[in-house]
Amino acid sequence: MPKILMTGASGGIGTRLRELLPPIYPDLVLSDLNTPQNLKSSETFKQADLADLAAVESICEGVDGILHFGGFSVEGPWDTILQANIIGCYNLFEAARKKGVKRIVFASSNHAVGFYPRHSKIPPDVTARPDSRYGVSKVFGEALGALYADKHGLSVTCLRIGNFGDMPLDKRRLSIWLKPEDLVQLCQIGIAHPDIHFEVLYGASYNERAWWDNTRAYELGYRPTGKGEDHREHAMAEQAKLKPDPVGDFYQGGAFCSAEFSGDFSKVWQAK
């Protein structure tokens, strides 16, 4: 079995994957800036700051593949995003190259394309339209993955993750929900599929309201088990509790788009 490193082990996604991945990857190494809560004696944890290249090289030693979920997972000040998601991401790819890692699955985000309107259905190869500094960092990570695939021969899969959790929590998330077990399936594709050189896939379950064309993921064998519409009543009940957000409700990125928005609102409705 391959030795897999998962960064971001203390985050929301990492914490859930700690439960789901060990049966698939028994030789799993966890890493984060902070020690995960309730760390088990059976788990291997190596602390590392992604902004420290030497530390990242150390955790990449002897690793076959990396699931990169580390970094700052929401919008934040530029310096925070810079250190964790841009410098940290570069260090991860560079350390992987130096240590001979063969495959990387990079946790990108729907916020790399958040300024597409909700009436658009977009494939993976659209022009980036990030909705935040956080989204910009994910665009950087995708570009870096392409560079390291083309120039250095790493196999790189970028997953534009929608909303990860046990069920979609509002109307927007009915379109972008990602069941945890479906993310595991996408990770397995990225780690093992022989045809992957560089791919951008959408991290979403089977959602009838999807804004994304995920055909390529299905071509690679993806068969999600989560169905957003199974949770429609709950999501719509929660939606009714939210205040209208004219900008966020128009764009795929939701509140990430409306936060700090100072653009020409009249042009919002002309977007294509």
User: Among all residues, which ones are annotated catalytic?
Assistant: 134
Residue 162 structure tokens = 């929608």
Beta carbons of 253 and 132 less than 8 angstroms apart: yes
Other beta carbons within 10 angstroms of residue 103's beta carbon come to 21
Farthest-apart Cα atoms in the chain, separation: 57
Which residues, 6+ apart, have CB-to-CB distance to 13 below 8 Å?
A: 69, 73, 107, 161, 164, 183
Identify the sign of the CA torsion 4, 188, 147, 68: negative
| Residues forming beta bridges with residue 161, ordered by sequence position | 109, 203
Strands 103-109 and 44-47: unpaired
Give the type of residue at 124. P
* Measured distance CA(186)–CA(158) in Å, rounded: 10
